[in-house]
Chains A and B, each alone.
Chain A
Amino acid sequence: MTTTAPPRGETQHHEHVPLRHPRLPRWAPLLVAAMAASAGGLLALSLGWGVVGWVIVAALLHLVGLPLWSRVIENRRAAVDRLVTSLIWIALVIAFIPLVSLLSTVVRNGASELTSTFLNNSMRNVIGEGGGIYHALVGTLLITLGATVISVPIGLMTSIYLVEYGALSRLASAIRFLVDVMTGIPSIVAGLFAFALFALLTGDPGIHFGFGGSVALSLLMIPIVVRSAEEMLKLVPTDLREASYALGVPKWRTIVRVVLPTALSGIITGVTLAIARVIGETAPLLIIAGSTDSVNFDLFHDQMATLPVFIYYSYTQPGLNPEISRGYAWGAALVLIIIVMALNAIARIVGRFFAPRTGR
């Protein structure tokens, strides 16, 4: 059956890697990294480039040096493999630099602002020192609460429809698809919608009130609630539902008494994450909730201050005391980040510790 093929292993086209060949030691990447770092440091020092320049030069030296060494000692394919590995690790480092930089900048600039005055006072009649974010905190709390009150029932009932009633019907698929598309609505469009809606309803073209912000935010929250609740409901085993039906319990009672409690911790996690997502939204609140210096407890009348909008105006329209105003902005930003991170952490904890034991 053999054709007139050239003797195996010696075909002229094939650059077979030899079975045994010199290989770089296991610590080779670390060595190159160390050498690149020192060479880069020397270069940066002599050219006066600073830390950033040093890091960039060192990274480039590593990217070129290791594959080159590998090409000489090992072979081309190993060199390419090492180049890609280096690129991937560098990508990972680059991705984390902004996170570290941002968090440290906010903490550095905002930590000194976190006094009790700051947290307990509004900006009413304040020029310069002595102001605080109390009004913004109240506004954020109320508006987000309003958004939650709108989104959770609608979102939850929709996910119940998708899982328990509609299942694989075409309408359910369409709704599922549109919910997914809804997650891509720009937040400012949601704000414009709320404005357009209420401007028409009230006939007031300059309408500003907190509840409008709640409506805009709920447009952003609902898709998140629907998707996460749907996942949680799907996780509830069918056997559980069937056991309930077999006992003669009607479908709606089964859902309320059996399915929902089982999925509850997951749903709470999803809702908490949705809240964390919208609590930092600025654009829609800029448009419909507006801004003010005083505390406003009424969602349905007058402008209401919120943390994100406060940050925005304090920094970009600082007024007579830019230093102090900008300090307020950083302080408020720190508070906002703490709130968001806390919500995320709570969501994770609820998800992990209160999940029904599946015991499988």
Chain B
Amino acid sequence: MATSIDISDLDIYYSDFLAVEGVNMTIPARSVTALIGPSGCGKSTFLRTLNRMHEVIPGARVEGKIVVDGHSLYDPAVDPVEVRRQVGMVFQRPNPFPTMSIADNVLAGLRLNTRRLKKSDAEDVVERSLTRANLWNEVKDRLKKPGMSLSGGQQQRLCIARAIAVEPQVLLMDEPCSALDPISTSAIEDLIHELRTEYTIVIVTHNMQQAARVSEDTAFFNLAGAGRPGQLIEMNPTKKIFSVPDEEATEAYISGRFG
């Protein structure tokens, strides 16, 4: 059921300041799309409009359309609360709820939606989510321990398990490995590779090699100039972006001439 995302003429504002302008792209279903670009070009801002987290900042708004599964996300009749359940997010730094156990962390999102969760169902969900997140074997004996007792890489996988426990269609990842060591990074990249069969994944990354490793398509964002809004420069299959990109700016970024 994972679906594609269609973005048309998207302008992203912080109050009156135009941060990103004129984005048009289609994110294909059940695949991994990487967003790359230099710091401050708006890729994280863009990512956060896909699950309506951008508007949490006072004064932040968007103009344009984002369509997921035939539904326009910014339609007035649409509840952002449900958008965020259907479009999950994993953050740059792992953020399990500090006062909760591992099991409770996984179930946190589910408990919001469900009045009465039977114990057996809860246990099923915990095992299923942690297994999908490649964390089950490491924590199955200590589900009651605090979520913060895990290592950084494990915490991030816990956050992924938490995100997928509510059965989203899309998974957004905002530089998920930037706070992790290389071994944990590699574990997460393997995980992303497995998850893409079931979810549409959009990942923002600073690391071009990572983008080349995990994604099928890549979108390159850049600033139009100093003080100008960010723009989508080019979106193409990853292999093409990293060998013969269409745009000169893309070529310059890839080969490290700026960034």
Show the binding face of A for B, using Cβ within 8 Å.
Answer: 1-3, 5, 7-9, 11, 13-23, 74, 77-78
Contact = CB atoms under 8 A, between A and B. Distances in A.
Contacts of B115: 15
Interface of B: 1, 71, 75-79, 81-83, 85-86, 110, 112-115, 117-118, 121, 128, 131-132, 167, 169, 194, 197-198
Nearest to B118: A13
A5 to B, nearest CB: 7
B154 to A, nearest CB: 20
A19 B82 contact: yes
B85 A17 contact: yes
A19 B86 CA distance: 9
A7 B169 CA distance: 12
A17 to B, nearest CB: 4
24 contacts: A1-B198, A2-B197, A5-B128, A7-B1, A8-B169, A9-B1, A9-B167, A13-B114, A13-B118, A14-B113, A14-B114, A14-B167, A15-B113, A16-B82, A17-B113, A18-B82, A19-B78, A19-B83, A20-B78, A20-B79, A21-B79, A23-B77, A77-B81, A78-B79
Contacts of A9: 1, 167
Query: A8, A11, A19, A74: which has the most chain B beta carbons within 10 Å?
Result: A19
B167 A17 contact: no
Q: Which 10 A-B pairs have the closest CB atoms?
A: A17-B82, A8-B167, A20-B77, A19-B82, A8-B1, A13-B114, A19-B71, A14-B113, A20-B78, A14-B114
A70 to B, nearest CB: 12
A11 to B, nearest CB: 7
B128 A20 contact: no
A17 B83 CA distance: 9
Contacts of A78: 79, 81
Given A9-B167, A19-B82, A1 B128 contact: no
B77 A1 contact: no
Residue with the greatest number of chain A CB neighbours at <10 A, chosen from B83, B113, B198:
B113
Contacts of B118: 13
Nearest to A5: B128
A21 B77 CA distance: 6
Contacts of A20: 71, 75, 77-79
Nearest to A12: B121
